[in-house]
């Protein structure tokens, strides 16, 4: 399955979710279909960062569409979810997710250079190995703390999917080369997302279905073959604000 195919699945899923909100105005099977969208978009951000030739343009593109999408998003949320009117759209979450993995990667590369410089001054092989492990652990801890800080910022700014969304992008990036660990980490994050609601509602069937539906996209992600497919990125970017605005007008 190509990146293009994954994006189409995510876009259809997202439309079903928002159409259900606008047309039916209550929770339905359309919202269950919609649970597939964000995990796929989060995965695409991690893949995009890995393969992009210009990360600055990638940031710029996400930032511009975050700003463009905010008014249609706010209108949609005000009409159908008044209590969420002051939240920020999903592009802000994806932007912060990209920032998290960029800084994590940057910090690790920077500290690795520092590590190599310092280890070269050591003459004893055992000391070199010990210092290497020490620096590697230090790199990871610093990088993860930065990611958690950005996730906290997403939560404070009340972005769509908040801290959970940022951490999901980061998780897909960290385990991009490890399918089994990626599945396990994703499953754990979905459990964390829903466990409180499941317990509070005495394992309501609605939340059980939402939990299972949110797990579903990992099946599509694991079918990804690493190929881009058709290049229609701006069309897909534009779909988000346009469909929100049209649903706002129509319903």
- Which pLDDT tens digit goes with each residue over 126-156? 555 555 566 677 778 888 999 999 999 999 9
Average pLDDT, the chain: 91
| 162-174 helix and 125-156 helix, angle to the nearest 10 degrees | 150
- Give the pLDDT of residue 97: 98
Whether the CB-CB separation of 157 and 88 falls below 8 Å is answered with: yes
17, with CB counted inside 10 A (0-12, 13-18, 19+), is: buried
Other beta carbons within 10 Å of 190: 23
Distance CA 105, CA 99 (A): 10
Nearest 5°: phi and psi at 246?
Answer: -65, -40
Confidence bin at 198 (pLDDT 50/70/90)? very high
- Give the pLDDT of residue 125: 52
Is it the case that residue 113 has pLDDT exceeding 90?
Answer: no
- Give the pLDDT of residue 86: 86
Distance from the first to the final alpha carbon of the chain: 35
Is it the case that residue 75 has pLDDT exceeding 80?
Answer: yes
| Mean pLDDT value across residues 54-76 | 97
Token pair recorded at residue 32: 């269950």
Confidence bin at 116 (pLDDT 50/70/90)? low
Is it the case that residue 120 has pLDDT exceeding 70?
Answer: no
Residues 83-100: tens digit of each pLDDT: 777 899 999 999 999 999
Residue 191 or 232, more confident? 191
Q: DSSP string of 194-240? A: HHHHHHHTTS-HHHHHHHHHHHTHHHHHTT--S---S--HHHHHHHH
- Give the pLDDT of residue 7: 94
Reported pTM = 0.91
Is it the case that residue 74 has pLDDT exceeding 60?
Answer: yes
- Give the pLDDT of residue 82: 77
């Amino acid at each position: 399955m190509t990146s293009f195919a994954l994006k189409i699945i995510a876009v259809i899923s997202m439309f079903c979710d928002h159409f259900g909100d606008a047309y039916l105005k209550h929770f339905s099977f359309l919202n269950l279909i919609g649970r597939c969208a964000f995990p796929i978009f989060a995965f695409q951000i991690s893949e995009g960062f890995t393969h992009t030739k210009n990360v600055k343009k990638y940031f710029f593109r996400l930032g511009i569409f975050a700003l463009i999408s905010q008014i249609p998003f706010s209108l949609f949320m005000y009409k159908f979810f008044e209590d969420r009117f002051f939240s920020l759209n999903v592009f802000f979450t994806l932007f912060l997710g990209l920032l998290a993995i960029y800084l994590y990667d940057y910090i690790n590369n920077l500290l690795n250079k520092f590590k190599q410089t310092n280890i070269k001054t050591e003459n004893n092989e055992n000391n070199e190995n010990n210092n290497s492990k020490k620096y590697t652990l230090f790199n990871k801890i610093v990088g993860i703390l930065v990611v958690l800080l950005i996730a906290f910022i997403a939560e404070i700014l009340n972005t769509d999917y908040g801290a959970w969304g940022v951490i999901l992008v980061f998780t897909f990036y960290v385990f991009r080369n490890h399918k089994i660990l990626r599945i396990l980490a994703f499953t754990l994050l979905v459990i964390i997302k829903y466990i409180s609601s499941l317990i509070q509602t005495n394992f309501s069937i609605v939340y059980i279905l939402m939990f299972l539906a949110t797990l579903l996209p990992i099946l599509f992600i694991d079918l990804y073959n690493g190929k881009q497919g058709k290049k229609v990125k701006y069309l897909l970017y534009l779909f988000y604000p346009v469909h929100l605005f049209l649903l706002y007008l129509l319903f």
